Amino acid sequence: MRIDVLSIFPSYFDGLTLSLLGKARSAGILDLTVRDLRDWTSDRHRTVDDTPYGGGAGMVMKPEPWALALDELAARPDDAAHAGDAEQNRPTIIFPSPAGEVFTQATARDLSSREHLIFGCGRYEGIDERVFEYAAALGEVRLISLGDYVLNGGEVATMAMIEAIGRLIPGVVGNPESLVEESHEDGLLEYPSYTKPSTWRERPVPEVLLSGNHAAIAAWRRDQQIERTRTRRPDLLPGDDS
Ligand code: 6GU
């Protein structure tokens, strides 16, 4: 998978050289490039923002640098060679935004099967609305929010999304079985885990886990998943209208 990130703070993404995603990049499974949006400005101050039409607080990101950057990143290397599958080669262009659809595990799954993702990280009060219309001519545009709270810009949201998407790409997580027994994969929160010692500071591990009875262990874990979900996240259970 190819992922391009556009940001005025590229060093936010230095952490993506670490751990599993860092390995996936070295192994060539994930082709991730972070680009400075200011590289597509041409004035001496490398300006990316301006005052809002209609007035109001803060600044708005100018459309020109975004258009030039998206043109370059969405361009296909050899259009003639891909004449038959033009649609398939169009990137998915994601703008992190608290005004977007909410990101879930299902969104991560969907996006993990795409060939090319472009993340456009906005700052200030947002990006000139015409950029989204322009981008729609280059690929599928998605405005995506992490949840109902406000961050200072799209960078941290993009990192969270890249981690959630990246770990679903085949070969990124060494043991694929570790992907299935996790919170949100089966619609329930995950069961509690324990390791040695069997008693620690007067606290014993639940006895069933030491029993060797695999059916009993599986049933106990399922019960724990349901009980935890009922108390912590009732909204995930069927019949909850909240
Ligand atoms: Cl994707 N961006 C910003 N700026 N704030 C957010 C968000 C995204 N998701 C939740 N809050």
As for the ipTM of the complex, it is 0.94
221 lies in the same domain as 206: yes
Mutate to test the pocket of ligand 1, among 7, 61, 95, 97 (most ligand atoms within 8 A of CB): 97
Please tell me the distance between residue 95's alpha carbon and the centre of ligand 1 in angstroms.
10
Pocket test for ligand 1, best of 146, 155, 159 (most atoms within 8 A of CB): 146
> How far away, in angstroms, is 115 Cα from ligand 1 center?
24
The CA-based diameter of the chain, rounded to the nearest angstrom, is 71
Contacts of 93 (CB under 8 A, 6+ apart): 70, 74, 117, 118, 120, 135, 138, 139, 140, 141, 142
pLDDT digits (tens, 9 = 90+) for 149-173: 999 999 999 999 999 999 999 988 8
Helix segments in 50-153, DSSP class H: 63-74, 86-89, 105-112, 130-135
Does ligand 1 come within 6 angstroms of the Cβ of 148? Answer: no
Looking at the structure, tell me whether residues 195 and 88 fall in a common domain: no
**157 lies in a domain?**
yes
How many angstroms separate the CA atoms of 72 and 68, rounded? 6
Distance CA 38, CA 43 (A): 10
Between the two ends of the chain, the Cα-to-Cα distance in Å is 36
pLDDT 10s digits, 31-82: 999 999 999 999 999 999 999 999 999 999 999 999 999 999 999 766 555 5
Sign of CA dihedral 109, 114, 117, 123: negative
Same domain, 210 and 154: no
Do 119 and 231 reside in the same domain of the chain? no
pTM tops 0.80:
yes
Which residues, 6+ apart, have CB-to-CB distance to 192 below 8 Å?
224, 228
CATH of the domain at 199: 1.10.1270.20
